Amino acid sequence: MPATHYERRGTVAVITLDNPPVNGLGHAVRLGICEGLERAEADPEVSAVVLTGAGKAFSGGADITEFKSGKQLAEPMLRSVIRALEASTKPVIAAIHAVAMGGGLELALGAHFRVAAAGAKIALPEVKLGLLPGAGGTQRLPRAIGLEAALNMIASGEPVLSEKLAGTALFDRLIDGDLVTGAVAFAEEIVREKRPLKKLRDAAVEHPNPEGFVQFARNTVAAMAKNFPAPLGCVDAVAASTEPFEVGLRKEGELFQRLMATPESRALRHLFFAERAASKIADVPPETKGRPIQRVAIVGAGTMGGGIAMCFANAGIPVTVLEAKEEALGKGLGVIRKNYESTVKKGKLPADKAEERIARIQGTLAYEDLANADLVIEAVFEDLAVKQGVFTKLDAVMKPGAILASNTSTLDLDKIAAFTKRPADIVGMHFFSPAHVMKLLEVVRGKATGKDVLATVMDVAKKIGKTAVVSGVCDGFIGNRMIERYGLQAALLLEEGALPAQVDRALERWGMAMGPFRMNDLAGNDIGWAIRKRRYVEYPEIVYSKIGDRICELGRFGQKTGKGWYRYEPGQRDAIPDPAVDELVIAYSNEIGAARRAISDEEIVARCIFALVNEGAQIVEEGIAQRASDIDVVYVSGYGFPLYRGGPMLYADEQGLPNVLSAMRRFGRTARGDRSFWEPAPLLARLAAEGRTFHG
- Where on the chain is the footprint of ligand NAI (CB under 6 A)? 299-305, 322-324, 328, 332, 379-382, 386, 389-390, 407-409, 430-433, 523
> Helix H segments across 539-578?
547-553
Distance from C-alpha of 331 to C-alpha of 55, rounded to nearest angstrom? 49
| Closer of 77 and 523 to ligand NAI (Cβ) | 523
Measured from the CB of residue 306, what is the shortest distance to ligand NAI in angstroms? Answer: 8
| Closer of 165 and 416 to ligand NAI (Cβ) | 416
For residue 434, is the peptide bond before it cis, meaning its omega torsion is within 30 degrees of 0? Answer: yes
> Helix H segments across 146-278?
147-156, 179-192, 210-224, 230-239, 245-260, 263-278
Amino acid letter for position 483: I
3-state secondary structure of 444: strand
Catalytic one among 86, 126, 252, 496? 126
Distance from C-alpha of 288 to C-alpha of 482, rounded to nearest angstrom? 31
335-344: long-range contacts at Cβ-Cβ below 8 A with a sequence spacing of 24 or more?
A: 335/301, 335/306, 336/301, 336/306, 336/309, 336/310, 336/361, 339/306, 339/310, 339/436, 340/310
| Closer of 102 and 515 to ligand NAI (Cβ) | 515
Distance from C-alpha of 126 to C-alpha of 154, rounded to nearest angstrom? 8
Amino acid letter for position 668: G
Residue 126 designated active-site: yes
Angle at CA 156, nearest 5°, toward 113 and 651? 125
Which candidate, 418, 444, 417, places its Cα nearest to that of 430? 444
| Closer of 203 and 371 to ligand NAI (Cβ) | 371
> Helix H segments across 419-476?
451-463
> Helix H segments across 365-515?
384-397, 413-418, 451-463, 477-496, 500-510
| Closer of 231 and 300 to ligand NAI (Cβ) | 300
Measured from the CB of residue 435, what is the shortest distance to ligand NAI in angstroms? Answer: 8
What count of residues does the chain have?
Answer: 696
Distance from C-alpha of 659 to C-alpha of 689, rounded to nearest angstrom? 11
Sign of the dihedral defined by the CA atoms of residues 104, 109, 113, 119, in that order: positive
Let me know: does 286 contact 280? Beta carbons within 8 Å: yes
DSSP state of 382: S
Distance from C-alpha of 336 to C-alpha of 307, rounded to nearest angstrom? 7
Strand partners, 404: 376, 426
| Closer of 242 and 559 to ligand NAI (Cβ) | 559
Distance from C-alpha of 497 to C-alpha of 506, rounded to nearest angstrom? 14
**How distant, in Å, are the alpha carbons of 157, 229, 262, 400, 680 from that of 131?**
10, 9, 9, 50, 35
Let me know: does 469 contact 440? Beta carbons within 8 Å: yes
Amino acid letter for position 167: G
Measured from the CB of residue 284, what is the shortest distance to ligand NAI in angstroms? Answer: 24
Measured from the CB of residue 434, what is the shortest distance to ligand NAI in angstroms? Answer: 8
Contacts of 320 (CB under 8 A, 6+ apart): 295, 296, 297, 298, 361, 362, 363, 364, 369, 370, 373
Measured from the CB of residue 398, what is the shortest distance to ligand NAI in angstroms? Answer: 15
Q: At what angle do helices 351-359 and 303-314 cross, to 10 degrees?
A: 110
DSSP state of 597: -
Which candidate, 269, 250, 222, 271, places its Cα nearest to that of 126? 269
| Closer of 319 and 498 to ligand NAI (Cβ) | 319
| Closer of 617 and 625 to ligand NAI (Cβ) | 625
| Closer of 154 and 394 to ligand NAI (Cβ) | 394
Catalytic one among 106, 378, 495, 603? 106
| Closer of 381 and 539 to ligand NAI (Cβ) | 381
Let me know: does 628 contact 635? Beta carbons within 8 Å: no
| Closer of 122 and 443 to ligand NAI (Cβ) | 443
Burial class (CB in 10 A: 0-12, 13-18, 19+), 303: middle
Residue 326 designated active-site: no
Rounded to the nearest 10°, the torsion over CA 134, 136, 142, 147 is 40
Query: Annotated active-site positions, please?
Result: 106, 126
